[in-house]
Structure 1
């Protein structure tokens, strides 16, 4: 077991304060810090802090896959860590995006390889052969657009804005089944000629302003989001698409799970994000980056997403909260030490014999494994190799540790 130094990713939508304050680093930072990666992704692996200096987790896995991953995990996923843990800090909206299924990723990767597109090229869609299911657990209030909303709600929203230019599109959506109507309308908007967008988007922004001035509250969040996106991305089809998606506000501890094909855009906030170890992204707008409309339409699932909020299950009298998902690559839970447990060694519930990444988000705890112990404070993480479990915790103050393992 070793402390794990994460890799900071700097993107324009990140925060100059959130990740720095979370880890105890100087704040504000010179550049926006968007993500802190704890994993073995080849693009930016985390580093083990050993007595002999820092060592890439990716190198450690390559040197001893059996000891680090365990026989069962190797049998299922080979010699690669199948999950990636991130702290995500968004001060501005991320791009509107979706991720492919495994079958789509395998086919897309092979196709782009045949075309000779370099893996790191800006126009590359598929950088690996994996799907990318993901869960985000809020650490602060977290705002998001996630999954298509039922068509009837989007129809009601657009009618409430009172924009005459929207009437043909309302009729298009209202005249079809949910999935067919959403597909038809989203496809129309994302392929709209720019001169038409330059007329329709401002009209919708005016409708949102008028709605908010009216004092109505049912769609106030949606109207504000339309205005915020329209200000940042004038004339972007993603501004219109936001009216078709679920607008969610998560409180700390609440979570969203997104399987393949779900269109989404994280708007603001800090959260712990766990995903399959993949970098496959199909973008649909709200970004200066490459947007491949035909490929995005190929992977999107237009079925309304009505069950993407994840409700954690309590294990062993509340010592662990498990966020259930169907993803085989990862399992996410939170270990809590408080009350009468303080000052005593607590055995963490045994998940299985695979590796673990622990991330402290509150308090401080000493983590004991078979042959070593480390102290985790807020913002610090640890790698527990498969041959180092199970673990025990000791804390003198209320403490929360995110624990990520391979799915059962």
Structure 2
């Protein structure tokens, strides 16, 4: 078992100091958005300066276990430390079948993997869990239409009603139509709506209930992305504010955006993202609408068992949270590949010392045994 060194990703929405401060390093002026712990080809982590992808290729059975054939002899999950200083794009991820079709299509069309217009960088789905390390603000899933109408009425958005809501019986508005209408607004109407919304945000007294969170989020979107039609999703999507240790699950097809905070993200090993706004990256509305799941996501929060394991329905990964005080046994996970991340304090797994923001790689041929120290550990395995 050895330290796993993450692959650094630098995006505009990242932060100069959030991740360096979290992992105990001095900022160097570079915006860091994510650290990737995994074997995805877009950003493989390293063990003793050797790419995890190369270690796996040399000994698939030893690194991933005899069951690796069930996930195509690849590590099926990816772990990230994410720091959102500004909002991420309005986005959704494809199902496995959609990813296979989209990837094959772009391969056949000769679109380079590195092309900015490329939508599918692999053939996998990307259900994901985000666990808050700090207070974390996110937009997740379409808002109930009745709540959206109440919010629109509170802000007195007449043009929003006229342009985006269906007919006279507004509460029967189809959620999919609402997203389609928003993403396909012509430039003139889009700017009219944004002007109306900006004026409403300035004049409306701040309410005390859930509307406050939605309005605060939307104000932040206006500041970070002035003139971007994605601002309207501050109204369309649920705002959730996570306390440290709380987690949300985002299934394939559901719109979301991570707005601000540091989080530990666990997902199926994929980098397939379809975007609809709040970004300078490629936006493909037609493809986003193909993968869109318009069902209302009423409760995205993840429940953890008394033993600390996240209760999930996905097959690609499992997550366990352990509070370490002194010396205690750790589930051996014999025959299973695992990544362990220390998220607070200092812990020691066997002879490997981890402080906050450090990760360990446990190949399938090895096992966890004893855990020592004082801190918190998240273990991810398949």
Q: What is the CA–CA distance in structure 2 between the aligned matches of 1:361 and 1:404, rounded to whole Å?
A: 13
Residue number in structure 2 paired with 1:16: 16
Structure 1 match to 2:321: 334
Aligned to 1:41: 40
Q: Distance in 2 between matches of 1:377 and 1:116?
A: 44
Aligned to 1:362: 344
Q: What pairs up with 1:57-72 in 2 under 5 angstroms? A: 57-72=52-67
**Aligned residue among 148, 153, 177 for 1:154:** 148
- The CA distance in 1 between the partners of 2:337 and 2:62, in whole Å, is 9
Partner of residue 189, structure 1: 182
- In 2, Cα distance between the equivalents of 1:171 and 1:137? 34
2:71 corresponding residue in structure 1: 77
**1:183-224 Cα deviation digits (max 9, x unpaired):** 11221111111122111111011112222xx24223122112
CA RMSD of aligned residues (A): 1.6
Secondary structure of the 1:314 match is: coil
**Scaled by the length of structure 2, what TM-score is found?**
0.96
**Matched residue SS, 1:172:** coil
Q: For residue 390 of structure 1, what is the aligned residue in structure 2?
A: 368
SS at match of 1:310: coil
Distance 1:234 1:18, change over 3 A: closer
Structure 1 residues 379 and 244: CA distance shift in structure 2, 3 A: same
> How do 1:287-298 residues align onto structure 2 when only pairs under 5 Å count?
287-298=279-290
Equivalent in the alignment of 1:306: 298
Q: Is the 8 A contact 2:146 2:171 kept in 1?
A: no
Equivalence for 2:108: 114
Asked whether the 8 Å contact 2:339–2:359 carries over to 1, the reply is yes
How does 1:1-400 map onto structure 2 within 5 Å? 1-27=1-27, 29-49=28-48, 54-72=49-67, 74-169=68-163, 171-172=165-166, 175=169, 181-211=174-204, 214-218=205-209, 219-315=211-307, 321-338=308-325, 342=326, 344=327, 346-351=328-333, 353-368=335-350, 373-395=351-373, 398-400=374-376
TM-score by length of 1: 0.90
Question: Which runs of 5 or more residues in structure 2 are unaligned?
Answer: none
Distance 2:138 2:281 in 1: 20
Which runs of no fewer than 5 residues in structure 1 stay unpaired? 316-320
Contact 1:151-1:174 within 8 A present in 2 as well: no
1:168: how far off? Answer: 1.7
